[in-house]
């Protein structure tokens, strides 16, 4: 049976991976084109897209602050206590070091973006 996948940008196409596992991961593969299209239009997909965008921005900021590459699992965001609306803190841990660091620059998100990020983050934990 042909397999279809949904790319990160939401495109549906036949999966060409045969030798190695497809880098898009099992959750993005479907037995029919109709199922793949339905997923690409679903709120679940939209949330995951927001998560990926927010998480990669947070990771970029953390890596700038740390001056080194960091694993995705070592970077997260939390509400800021500054009282500035939409301001979040990017936090990260450095392997073999205790405690966490806070990136100097704040990350600005709207409430929906933060909630999408949070719900996908929880699914993954």
Instruction: Select the residue interacting with Zn ion from 4, 5, 92, 109 (CB under 5 A).
Output: 5
What DSSP character marks residue 11? Answer: -
Token couple for 60: 């970029």
Helices and strands (H and E) in the chain: how many = 3, 7
Element containing residue 64 per DSSP (H, E): helix 43-66
> Which range binds Zn ion by CB under 5 A, 20-28, 43-51, 59-67, 75-83?
20-28
Least distance to Zn ion from the beta carbon of 35, Å?
14
CB of 40 to Zn ion, least distance (A): 13
59 binds Zn ion (CB under 5 A): no
Q: Which of residues 23-42 bind Zn ion (CB under 5 A)?
A: 24
The closest of 10, 43, 16 to 28, measured between CA atoms, is 10
**Pairing outcome for strands 75-79 and 101-102:** unpaired
Q: Rounded to the nearest whole angstrom, what is the least distance from the CB of residue 6 to Zn ion in the complex?
A: 9
Counting contacts by CB under 5 A, is residue 47 touching Zn ion?
A: no
Q: Which residues bind Zn ion (CB under 5 A)?
A: 5, 15, 17, 22, 24
């Amino acid at each position: 049976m042909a397999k279809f996948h949904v790319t990160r940008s939401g495109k549906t196409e036949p999966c060409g991976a045969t030798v190695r596992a497809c880098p898009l991961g099992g959750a993005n593969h479907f037995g029919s084109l109709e199922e793949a299209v339905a997923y690409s239009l679903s709120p679940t997909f939209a949330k995951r897209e927001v998560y990926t965008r927010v998480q990669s921005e947070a990771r970029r900021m953390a890596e700038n602050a740390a001056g080194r590459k960091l694993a995705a699992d070592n970077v997260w965001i939390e509400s800021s206590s500054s009282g500035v609306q939409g301001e979040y803190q990017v936090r990260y841990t450095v392997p073999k070091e205790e405690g966490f660091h806070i990136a100097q620059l704040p990350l600005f998100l709207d409430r929906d973006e933060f909630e999408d990020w949070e719900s996908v983050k929880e699914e993954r934990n």
